[in-house]
Amino acid sequence: MASESTEAPLGDEVPPVALTPVSPNKLSLKIIDPSRKKLVSPEPQRIIGVLDECIHKMKLVALLPSELTHPESLSVSLGEKTVRSLTEHLRVVKKHGALNVDTEETEQEATTKVVQNSLLNLLRLLRACPTAEAGLKRAGPITEDRKGVHELVAGLQELRAVVLERLLTTASEERERSRHIQEVSMRHRSNLEVVGTLEKEVAAAIKDRDEEISKQNEAIRRLKGSVYQMEKTSEDFVARTQQEAQRQNESDQKTSEGKQTHLQQEANQLRVQLNNLITEHKEAELALRKKKYKLETEIENWIQKYDTDMGEKQTELEEMTVIYEEEKAELRDLQEHYAVLELEYSQIMEERRIAQEQREEEEKEREVKSQAAVIIQAFWRGYCVRKVMKAKTKSKSKKAKKGKGKKGK
């Protein structure tokens, strides 16, 4: 029997079924999905046609109104005969609903039979009307609960899909599907065993990690205790040093007061001698001032030369500092790269990395110390040059004084 419903029209062939597409990552679906897309034999087509007819009728039943509000407006979409049949069916249904429990069983059965015949006649008329669904939607309100009818329609649709899949599946495909399901089940059990083994390994690894963390915490606790003892010892040493420094300062202050008095007396005597010498040797003083100016000029030139040399050294130091910062930035990048790979290395590689970082830090410290030593040596050489020049200046001034003294005598 070919169905004429709008849901699944049947003629010479059944409409194609929506099957799950096969993707490259889901090759197993090829075994589950049927290979045929259409029903070619008449027997399966009749079976599907019966199901489609039943589904369509149930959908029409779900759209039947509880009462007609404007029956005259339905004549165009449903036809007068269909409207009369619908009116009669609603009257019979209302009469059947008015029966109570005390009604005789024979009367109830007769009324139920009348309702069934009326519904069959109405469905036959609606089946022949192409605009039946649109007309029923405008026929009137639905006050009854049609949840059971909708569930029945959904169940029939699921049944149609299952039956269609079974009709499209050959016996060899059914056997292949069963074999594939067994393989999937065995593979699932194997995967569960592997997961169990991996969970045990993870638990053991977590236990080892917790033990290592406890060891590290104990080492940290010991180090904190050692640091506390060192801080306490350092505080005691600082207190003793401050006390000794205070006593030494008091002693030095008393000695300084005595020296200051003695030096003040010597200074007064020397000031008298100086005034006498200034009065006696003004010309010598002018010559010495000229000589002093000359020496100061030479010293200024030496200082300028020293400043120039120190500027060059400072520039060189800045360049070395820039190079050092670049190498330090490169070192940070390498450390970040090694940090990403740290999870894949064992404890031995971790110890090697720490040792390498310590050696690099020591090398940097040696470089900084070398640069500091170069700077200190440069300042020391400059200090020595100034000291020699100052000594030469004093010796020359003393010789000049002695020569002048002899001439005056």
Stretch 298-315: mean pLDDT: 88
For residue 168, the model assigns a pLDDT of 78
For residue 69, the model assigns a pLDDT of 67
Residues 140 and 45 in one domain: yes
What is the per-residue pLDDT across 353-409, written as a single tens digit (0 to 9) for each?
Answer: 788 889 888 889 888 888 888 898 888 988 898 888 888 887 777 777 666 555 555
- Asked if 48 and 156 touch (Cβ cutoff 8 Å), the reply is no
Residues 142 and 265 in one domain: no
For residue 27, the model assigns a pLDDT of 43
Residues 237 and 251 in one domain: yes
- Asked if 338 and 353 touch (Cβ cutoff 8 Å), the reply is yes
Residues 242 and 118 in one domain: no
Residues 85 and 54 in one domain: yes
For residue 263, the model assigns a pLDDT of 85
CA atoms of 164 and 51, how far apart (whole Å): 10
CA atoms of 160 and 166, how far apart (whole Å): 10
Residues 140 and 219 in one domain: no
Q: Is the pTM of this model over 0.85?
A: no
With a cut of 80, say whether residue 70 has pLDDT above it.
Answer: no
H/E/C letters for each residue in 199-224? Answer: HHHHHHHHHHHHHHHHHHHHHHHHHH
Is 230 domain-assigned?
A: yes
The tally of domains found in the chain comes to 2
Last residue of one domain, picked from the residues 153, 171, 189: 171
Last residue of one domain, picked from the residues 125, 143, 171: 171
Q: How confident is the model at residue 25 (pLDDT cuts 50, 70, 90)?
A: very low
For residue 33, the model assigns a pLDDT of 53
Residues 84 and 207 in one domain: no
Residues 54 and 185 in one domain: no
CA atoms of 95 and 111, how far apart (whole Å): 8
Domain that holds residue 209: 172-280
Residues 138 and 185 in one domain: no
For residue 3, the model assigns a pLDDT of 37
Last residue of one domain, picked from the residues 171, 206, 223: 171
Residues 49 and 179 in one domain: no
* Angle, CA of 291, 295 and 296, to the nearest 5°: 115
Residues 111 and 179 in one domain: no
Averaged pLDDT of the chain: 78
Of the candidates 300, 263, 282, the residue with the CA atom closest to the CA atom of residue 389: 300
With a cut of 80, say whether residue 72 has pLDDT above it.
Answer: no
Of 73 and 161, more confident? 161
Of 192 and 338, more confident? 192
Residues 117 and 228 in one domain: no
What is the per-residue pLDDT across 197-245, written as a single tens digit (0 to 9) for each?
Answer: 998 999 989 988 889 898 888 888 888 888 888 888 888 888 888 888 8
